[in-house]
Amino acid sequence: MKGFKEPEGAATQPRSDLEASPADGGNAFVESLPDLIDASEYADHPDGRLVRVRIIVTESGVEILGDAFRPAALEALLADLGGGATEQMLCG
pLDDT tens profile 24-46: 567 888 999 999 999 899 899 99
Q: What is the pLDDT of residues 39-65, one digit of tens each?
A: 899 899 999 899 999 999 999 888 899
Q: Where do the domains of the chain lie?
A: 16-88
Question: What confidence category does residue 11 fall into, taking pLDDT thresholds of 50, 70 and 90?
Answer: very low
Residue 21 is predicted with a pLDDT of 52
pTM of this structure: 0.66
Burial (CB count <10 Å: 0-12, 13-18, 19+), residue 74: buried
Radius of gyration, alpha carbons of the chain: 14
Strand-strand pairing, 86-88 and 27-29: parallel
